[in-house]
């Protein structure tokens, strides 16, 4: 890193955050062979780990923000090094030392808006529930079956609001008693934590937990695997345990219980993209595929890198706020692959993945060749 951080402090911080794992790295390089960055450019997590461990200054500061936290390299490491924890620890140190770089300008802007308005999109809190206009959505009350916690992007982004609309129509159709907390919600804080801003993460998480408790929330439905991961696996750090369900799990449950009937066919060739935070980080691979399998006429074909080997879309780890050069986008590879196999629809179940895949689809001029959809958008068409 080109900051004057005493390396001992870095190592101590990483040990505190990531345990003793760093000292066991023996530089075999297996992590680099699976890292998606090496499909598009050169990036070595091995070198970052070496720098953190031994203080060998060989990497640029900006390399510290490359990792998308996709979870692929920890699966391969023979020494159980916790690369993601180590990278986040480096980012925390850099953030605490006030490191600045033009690359991080959008991250600073997202941080400021998260602190002021509870979302990273530079939008007003008062408009957080505007997406519900014209839909049958009630404010959450304690008697309801479930709270729908949509994700900031699903609340504010024009394309992603379609996911919220599809979700609501499905829930209404199944007769689910659900509500939202609207302007009381904050961002879950997952991505800002991965950029190293622990302070804002903690503040968002504490406020959300208080809001959930004050409103008598017990079960939470989410659209985003990033919200799923944080609410389910990280909020318990604050001694808060809610039942958290991702929409793919809930759709599977509603169909299995007969509450949701698939009545129409969907005569299209479809392929499914595994979101890292749904798949690798949380092991949810079967439910989305089983839901798609219930739709008559839908022909599901699989791409080469799926399930545990799934290719990252490139938006995790706070990269959603950092500009990635067009020829370095992993999502381009995904869209190219889906088009080459003749898929008419590339379906996924994560707002970040949809954002990345839609950008690649238009950037590569594939608008007429393929559609990108959330699983809820397909399902609403066949109910
Ligand atoms: S795979 Fe593990 S042990 Fe090998 S270089 Fe990477 S972090 Fe080190
Ligand atoms: S977690 Fe993913 S993006 Fe990050 S270094 Fe490992 S393989 Fe690369």
SS3 letters across the chain: CCCCCCHHHHHHHHHHHHCCHHHHCCCCCHHHHHCHHHHCCCCCHHHHHHHHHHCCCCCCHHHHHCCCCCCHHHHHCCCCCCHHHHHHHHHHHHHHCCCCCHHHHHHHHHHHHHHHHCCCCCCCHHHCCHHHCCCCCEECCCCCCEEEECCHHHHHCCCCHHHHHHHHHHHHHCCCCEEECHHHCCCCCHHHHHCCCHHHHHHHHHHHHHHHHHCCCCEEEECCHHHHHHHHHHHHHHCCCCEEEEHHHHHHHHHHCCCCCCCCCCCCEEEECCCCCCCCCCCCCHHHHHHHHCCCCCEEECCCCCHHHCCCCCCCCCHHHCCCCHHHCHHHHHHHHHHHCCCCEEEECCHHHHHHHHHHHHHCCCCCCCEEEEHHHHHHHHC
Closest ligand 2 atom number to CA of residue 276: 2
Are residue 78 and residue 151 in the same domain, yes or no?
no
Are residue 152 and residue 276 in the same domain, yes or no?
no
> Which of 20-34, 51-65, 312-326 has the lowest average pLDDT?
51-65
Ligand 1 pocket, residue 98 CB under 6 Å:
no
Give 1-17 pLDDT, tens digit per residue: 334 444 455 556 665 65
Give the tokens for residue 377: 């958008």
**Helix 161-173 vs helix 375-382: angle between axes, to the nearest 10 degrees?**
40
- The better pLDDT of the pair 371, 20 is held by 371
Read off the pLDDT of each residue in 143-149 and give the average, rounded to a whole number: 98
Are residue 272 and residue 303 in the same domain, yes or no?
yes
> Is 258 within a domain?
no
Torsion sign over Cα 158, 159, 164, 169: positive
* Predicted pLDDT at 265: 95
Ligand 1 pocket, residue 28 CB under 6 Å:
yes
pLDDT bucket at 124, cuts 50 / 70 / 90: very high
> Is 267 within a domain?
yes
Are residue 221 and residue 93 in the same domain, yes or no?
no
Nearest CA to 104 among 69, 71, 63? 63
pTM of the model: 0.94
* Predicted pLDDT at 2: 39
Q: Cα separation of 337 and 357, whole Å?
A: 12
Are residue 127 and residue 233 in the same domain, yes or no?
yes
Q: Cα separation of 119 and 182, whole Å?
A: 12
Instruction: Judge contact between 282 and 362, C-beta under 8 A.
Output: no
Half-sphere exposure of 139 (CA within 13 A, CB side): 7
> Is 109 within a domain?
no
Per the structure, the count of domains in the chain is 3
- pLDDT at residue 21 tops 60: no
Q: Which residues pair with 139 in a beta bridge?
A: 180
Q: Cα separation of 84 and 91, whole Å?
A: 11
Instruction: Judge contact between 195 and 318, C-beta under 8 A.
Output: yes
> Is 281 within a domain?
yes
Instruction: Judge contact between 339 and 366, C-beta under 8 A.
Output: yes
Give the tokens for residue 284: 């949810």
Give percent above pLDDT 70 in the chain. 92
Ligand 2 pocket, residue 315 CB under 6 Å:
no
Q: What is the mean pLDDT of the chain?
A: 93
* Domain final position from 253, 274, 289: 253
Domain that holds residue 71: 7-99
Give 233-282 pLDDT, tens digit per residue: 999 999 999 999 999 999 999 999 999 999 899 999 999 999 999 999 99
What count of other Cβ atoms lies within 10 Å of the Cβ of residue 380?
A: 18
Are residue 269 and residue 241 in the same domain, yes or no?
no
* Predicted pLDDT at 1: 39
Are residue 15 and residue 120 in the same domain, yes or no?
no
What count of other Cβ atoms lies within 10 Å of the Cβ of residue 71?
A: 19
Which pairs with CB-CB distance under 8 Å and at least 24 residues apart come from 33-38? 33/76, 34/72, 34/73, 34/75, 34/76, 35/72, 35/73, 36/68, 36/70, 36/72, 36/311, 36/312, 36/314, 36/330, 37/66, 37/328
Q: Cα separation of 56 and 204, whole Å?
A: 36
**Nearest CA owner, ligand 2 atom 4:** 67
Ligand 1 pocket, residue 84 CB under 6 Å:
no
Ligand 1 pocket, residue 33 CB under 6 Å:
no
Q: Cα separation of 320 and 276, whole Å?
A: 14
Q: Cα separation of 21 and 74, whole Å?
A: 11
* Predicted pLDDT at 9: 59
* Domain final position from 70, 99, 128: 99
**Residue for token digits 């040990």?**
15
> Is 225 within a domain?
yes
Ligand 2 pocket, residue 83 CB under 6 Å:
yes
* Domain final position from 68, 99, 130: 99
pLDDT bucket at 102, cuts 50 / 70 / 90: confident
**Nearest CA owner, ligand 1 atom 1:** 77
Read off the pLDDT of each residue in 278-292 and give the average, rounded to a whole number: 98
> Which of 46-50, 230-234, 265-269 has the lowest average pLDDT?
46-50
Distance 19 CA to ligand 2 centre (A): 19
Ligand 2 pocket, residue 70 CB under 6 Å:
yes
Are residue 212 and residue 300 in the same domain, yes or no?
no
Which value, in Å, is the radius of gyration of the alpha carbons in the chain?
Answer: 21
Closest ligand 1 atom number to CA of residue 26: 3
Ligand 2 pocket, residue 1 CB under 6 Å:
no
Q: Which ligand is nearest to the CA of 30?
A: 1
Are residue 177 and residue 301 in the same domain, yes or no?
no
> Which of 51-60, 102-111, 322-331, 335-344 has the lowest average pLDDT?
51-60
Are residue 150 and residue 206 in the same domain, yes or no?
yes
> Is 84 within a domain?
yes
Closest ligand 2 atom number to CA of residue 45: 5
Nearest CA to 155 among 189, 121, 179? 121
Are residue 144 and residue 124 in the same domain, yes or no?
yes
* Predicted pLDDT at 97: 80
Instruction: Judge contact between 247 and 168, C-beta under 8 A.
Output: no
* Predicted pLDDT at 316: 98
- The better pLDDT of the pair 241, 144 is held by 144
> Is 105 within a domain?
no
Ligand 2 pocket, residue 84 CB under 6 Å:
yes
Are residue 218 and residue 273 in the same domain, yes or no?
no
Read off the pLDDT of each residue in 219-239 and give the average, rounded to a whole number: 97
Closest ligand 2 atom number to CA of residue 71: 1
Polymer length of the chain: 383
């Amino acid at each position: 890193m080109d900051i004057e951080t005493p390396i001992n402090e870095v190592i101590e911080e990483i040990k505190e955050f990531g345990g003793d794992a760093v000292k066991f790295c023996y530089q075999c390089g297996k992590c680099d062979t699976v890292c998606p960055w090496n499909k598009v450019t050169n990036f070595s997590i091995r070198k970052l780990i070496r720098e953190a461990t031994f203080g060998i200054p060989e990497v640029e500061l900006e390399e510290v923000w490359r990792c998308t936290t996709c979870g692929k390299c920890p699966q391969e490491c023979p020494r159980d090094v916790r690369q993601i924890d180590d990278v986040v620890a480096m980012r925390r140190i850099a953030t605490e030392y006030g490191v600045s770089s033009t690359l991080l300008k959008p991250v600073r802007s997202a941080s400021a808006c998260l602190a002021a308005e509870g979302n990273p999109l530079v939008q007003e809190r008062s408009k957080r529930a505007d997406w519900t206009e014209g839909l049958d959505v009630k404010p959450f009350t304690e008697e309801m079956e479930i709270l729908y916690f949509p994700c900031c992007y699903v609340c504010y982004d024009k394309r992603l609001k379609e996911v919220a609309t599809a979700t609501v129509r499905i829930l209404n159709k199944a007769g689910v008693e659900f509500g939202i907390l609207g302007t009381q919600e904050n961002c879950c804080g997952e991505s800002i934590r991965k950029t190293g801003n622990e302070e804002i993460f903690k503040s968002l998480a504490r406020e959300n937990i208080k809001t959930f408790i004050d409103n008598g929330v017990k079960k939470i439905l989410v659209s985003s695997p990033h919200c799923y991961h944080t609410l389910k696996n990280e909020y318990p750090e604050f001694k808060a345990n809610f039942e958290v369900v991702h929409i793919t799990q809930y759709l599977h449950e509603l169909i299995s219980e007969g509450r949701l009937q698939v009545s129409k066919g969907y005569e299209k060739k479809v392929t499914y993209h595994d979101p890292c935070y749904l798949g690798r980080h949380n092991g949810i691979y079967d439910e989305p595929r089983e839901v798609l399998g219930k739709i008559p006429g839908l022909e599901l074909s699989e791409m080469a890198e799926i399930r545990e080997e799934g290719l990252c879309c490139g938006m995790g780890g706070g990269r959603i706020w950092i500009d990635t050069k067009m020829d370095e986008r992993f999502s381009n590879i995904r869209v190219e692959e889906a088009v080459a196999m003749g898929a008419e629809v590339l379906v996924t179940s994560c707002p970040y993945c949809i954002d990345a895949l839609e950008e690649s689809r238009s950037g590569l001029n594939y608008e007429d060749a393929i559609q990108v959809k959330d699983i809820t958008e397909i399902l609403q068409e066949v109910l």
